[in-house]
Chains A and B, each alone.
Chain A
Amino acid sequence: MYETELAIVGAGPAGLSAAIEARKAGVEVLLIDENSRPGGQLFKQIHKFFGSRDHKAGIRGMNIASTLLEESEELGIETWLKGEVCGIEEGRNLWVVRDRKCSELVKAKKIILATGATENAVAFKGWELPGVMGAGAAQTMINVNRVLPGKKVVMLGSGNVGVIVAYQLLQAGAEVVAILEAAPKLGGYGVHTAKVARAGVPLYVSHTIKTAFGKDHVEAVEIVELDSSFKQIPGTERILEVDTVCLATGLTPLTELAWLAGCKFNYVHALGGHLPIHDDKMRSTQPDIFLAGDISGIEEASTAMEEGRLAGINVATELGYISEEEARARSNEIWDSLNSLRSGYFGERRRTSKDSMLQKGKEVIKWNH
């Protein structure tokens, strides 16, 4: 058995930021991650981030990860890698399988769940063939593992993940045959979309994949046009010769531990579906469990880091390391920063969705008010 004041599940941008804030305040922290290195999905993000200078705009995701890791090492944060959290008991105790060998009980006063998200699938005929993969999977292969999973790629989805990974596939030496978007208009930030467009990648709106063909591996796909109600228009099918299909069709939060812990949920479509309810302190409906990052709503690494800091500060306050007054002042600053990240053409919908979640949190989480 291992005892600690705060256990954080997930050492991505949210978990690392939470750990750093809490440890700086004096909290005893245990950071647990199932992977063999911390940093979550930041290391595969080799593009420069958006937002203002305060939000680390202009810095590549992989370099942000290195900075966070350095900071957490300097603070001497206890980190368990290859630690898989398999259960939560009594809202505070974690059952952890370490190194895929032995299991250990962690007793914590507070828990922060920063488990992240997983990529959505699209089940067209042939989607299970080798060669069909998540866009993030291809991104991991090219940018982290430095191997090219395919040479001729079609990307399904024109959101930020779709256009960014398409561009990074070009940088890695692949050909991107097309980017398809089921909706009638493109979904990514203009700057990223413009890069692939300038590189000559055709972008098709109102199109999807009907079938992937191949014996042991993808050899071609049949694409089809969609009408305004997303129905396939017969007769518009055509064949693209590709060896790889990347699916960039959104993410779903990894909420298993929150369900296990008995957190109450709320459905928020724009933030990725069923999400554990939380308030403006990032507290769930379980008094000792806080949330940060994609588990509280699918957004970006920049918002995940701010939410992590918020959770870390509020946990430190509850444990008596930060005064209520200081916590309020610092939280307000972070909320200003989050609101500016959630502004503009793409951010507004996330802002209103997050506001509705906070409203729900206010109604349900009584002990906080």
Chain B
Amino acid sequence: MNRIVNHPILEEGKQGKEVQIFVDDKPITAMEGEMIAAALIANGIHINRYTAHEHKPRGIYCAIGRCTDCIMTVNDVPNIRTCVTKVEEGMRITTQKGMGVWSEEER
């Protein structure tokens, strides 16, 4: 786990409620209210998507919702900026390929 618990300045790491989310169908544990990208890093996942043409991996880059490098498909909606979107219990997250695919219901 890559969570920072002990810190010389900040209070002890978040003691919040744990939630379960699914990344490419695998369950992982996240903290309620944290950003998706943070939950992924905490669980050692550093690739958020693959580019459309050359299929190269991309991870977080700006972490404040500007660059869109960390976009993923969340609950069947593609192109979600995971660094500024909070996790929710049962969320289904998919490593995005290219532009992603919209589900029939969300189209």
Contact = CB atoms under 8 A, between A and B. Distances in A.
Interface of A: 34-36, 41, 46, 60, 118-119, 128-134, 136-138, 140-143, 145-149, 171-173, 216-217
A134 B62 contact: yes
A41 B67 CA distance: 16
A148 B61 contact: no
Interface in B1-48: 2-4, 7-10, 13-14, 34-35, 37-38, 41-42, 46-48
Interface residues of B, number: 33
A145 B64 CA distance: 11
Given A141-B38, A146-B3, A132 B61 contact: yes
A255 to B, nearest CB: 13
Nearest to B50: A216
Contacts of B35: 145
Contacts of B38: 141, 145-147
A173 B47 CA distance: 22
Given A133-B59, A147-B38, A148-B41, 17 more contacts: A35-B64, A36-B84, A46-B9, A118-B64, A129-B57, A137-B62, A140-B64, A141-B37, A142-B4, A145-B34, A146-B4, A146-B10, A147-B3, A148-B4, A149-B46, A216-B46, A217-B46
B41 A141 contact: yes
A131 B9 contact: no
A143 B10 contact: yes
A130 B4 contact: no
Contact of A136 (B58, B63, B65): B63
A133 B60 contact: yes
B41 A172 contact: no
Contacts of B61: 132-134, 137
A4 B60 CA distance: 37
A126 to B, nearest CB: 10
Interface string B54-86: 001111111111110000000000000001101
14 contacts: A34-B65, A132-B61, A136-B64, A138-B63, A140-B64, A141-B41, A146-B4, A147-B38, A148-B2, A149-B2, A149-B46, A172-B7, A173-B4, A216-B47
Contacts of A140: 63-64, 83
Contacts, number: 97
Interface of B: 2-4, 7-10, 13-14, 34-35, 37-38, 41-42, 46-48, 56-67, 83-84, 86
B41 A149 contact: yes
A237 B105 CA distance: 54
Nearest to A139: B63
Given A131-B59, A141-B41, A172 B64 contact: no
B57 A130 contact: yes
Instruction: Give 3 nearest A-B pairs by CB, closest first.
Output: A130-B59, A145-B38, A137-B63
A331 to B, nearest CB: 32
B63 A216 contact: no
Count chain A CB atoms within 10 A of each CB in B7, B41, B59, B84 and give the residue with the most. Answer: B59
Nearest to A129: B57
Nearest to B13: A146
A58 to B, nearest CB: 14
A136 B61 CA distance: 9
Contacts of A145: 34-35, 37-38, 41
Nearest to A243: B46
A253 to B, nearest CB: 12
Contacts of A137: 60-64, 83
A41 B65 CA distance: 12
B63 A36 contact: no
A134 B14 contact: no
Nearest to B11: A146
B4 A147 contact: yes
A171 B61 CA distance: 21
